[in-house]
């Protein structure tokens, strides 16, 4: 086990690229932003931990990403995990890598929200509990053909056959799952082009739940720096709300060949009613309808899930909760979270 340093970013990017199927240069750009430019970076917290083979090759890693949260008038530093990979030849040492990360829990609460089934077992074994509502996602599908292709491929249809069948099948599926987009208009979303504009929104009141500290440095780093050109920030306003609401999104390809164009809702703040959430999603779908196939929502409670399912959204249950909290030292003042996908590594 080794501690990852800034001088190893290139090697780290190459290893993560080899494990994730992504391009090494884009991973490096992401890491330099995500790790080195993080305004919550703390010299006491390592960039991450690595596993090296007897020959010195990097064969495992887990990254440590601090983020400032707040509750009422308190601010708290919580350390998130990201990019937990172990080469298949050394998969039996994955527990060792995670153990090194979990030792940070002596000083800071820990969370992770991109855990697969193997990682979830490690979190649970260390005493972690699932982050509420991290066991599902909601999909609002506008254009079905690419989504049908994905379903056929997952059911073992050959790739070419799946693409051929998905086109003719789409008209027969759409009538049963058409979204009811009678609420929300694109003009309700006003684009914001600077962190200073975001700071004028009412996002600074005392927080009744544990939530991200949306201060100037975080907003500037999270939404107005780094390599992701698909991010967009809006102020939402309609007759349902008394003041403007912060809304942030990004776009990501999904599917076995990246064929599904998705819009990911990263943040809505302050918290709004289920009906307002539906209006926000409706406005986004109207605005992006020509360039996306579906919108993805995560971290919603039962009332909001019900509101979205009534207008045609599909609930997809994940194999295991992908969000976990480890606070064995009892450092957090509450377990009531307002988590959003923008927190930590979720859909970044």
Query: Distance (Å, rounded) from C-alpha 22 to C-alpha 132?
Result: 30
pLDDT, residue 346, reads: 54
Greatest CA span in the chain, whole angstroms?
A: 64
pLDDT, residue 170, reads: 52
pTM as predicted: 0.90
Segments in the chain below pLDDT 70: 156-177, 345-348
pLDDT, residue 117, reads: 86
pLDDT, residue 177, reads: 61
DSSP 182-210: -S--GGGEEE--SHHHHTTSS--SPEEEE
Residues 131 and 324 sit within 8 Å (Cβ to Cβ): yes
């Amino acid at each position: 086990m080794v501690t990852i340093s800034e001088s190893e970013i290139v090697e780290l990017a190459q290893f993560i690229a080899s494990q994730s199927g992504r391009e090494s240069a884009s991973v490096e750009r992401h890491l330099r932003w995500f790790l080195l430019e993080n305004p919550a970076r703390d010299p006491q917290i390592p960039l991450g931990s690595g596993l090296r083979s007897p020959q010195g090759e990097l064969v495992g890693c887990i990254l440590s990403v601090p983020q400032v949260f707040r509750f009422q008038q308190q601010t708290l530093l919580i350390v998130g995990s990201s990019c937990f990979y172990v080469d298949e030849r050394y998969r039996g040492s994955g527990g060792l890598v995670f153990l090194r990360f979990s030792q940070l829990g002596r000083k800071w609460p820990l969370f992770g929200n991109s855990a697969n089934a193997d990682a979830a077992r490690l979190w649970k074994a260390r005493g972690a509990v699932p982050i509420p509502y991290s066991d599902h996602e909601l999909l609002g599908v506008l254009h079905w053909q690419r989504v049908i292709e994905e379903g056929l491929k997952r059911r073992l249809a050959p790739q070419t056959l799946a693409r051929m069948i998905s086109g003719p099948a789409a008209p027969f599926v759409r009538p049963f799952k058409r979204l009811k987009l009678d609420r929300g208009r694109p003009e309700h979303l006003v684009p914001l082009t600077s962190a200073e504009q975001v700071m004028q929104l009412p996002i600074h009141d005392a927080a009744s739940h544990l939530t991200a500290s949306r201060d100037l440095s975080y907003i500037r780093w999270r939404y107005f720096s780094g390599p992701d050109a698909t991010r967009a920030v809006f102020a939402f306003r309609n007759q349902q709300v008394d003041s403007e609401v912060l809304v942030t999104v990004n776009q990501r390809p999904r599917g076995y060949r990246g064929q599904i164009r998705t819009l990911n809702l990263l943040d809505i703040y302050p918290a709004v009613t289920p009906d307002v959430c539906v209006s926000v999603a409706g406005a986004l779908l109207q605005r992006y309808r020509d360039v996306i196939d579906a919108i993805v929502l995560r971290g919603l409670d039962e009332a909001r899930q019900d509101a979205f399912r009534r207008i045609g959204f599909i609930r997809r249950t994940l194999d295991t909760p992908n969000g976990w909290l480890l606070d064995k030292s009892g450092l957090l003042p509450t377990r009531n979270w307002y988590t959003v996908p923008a927190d930590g590594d979720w859909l970044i």
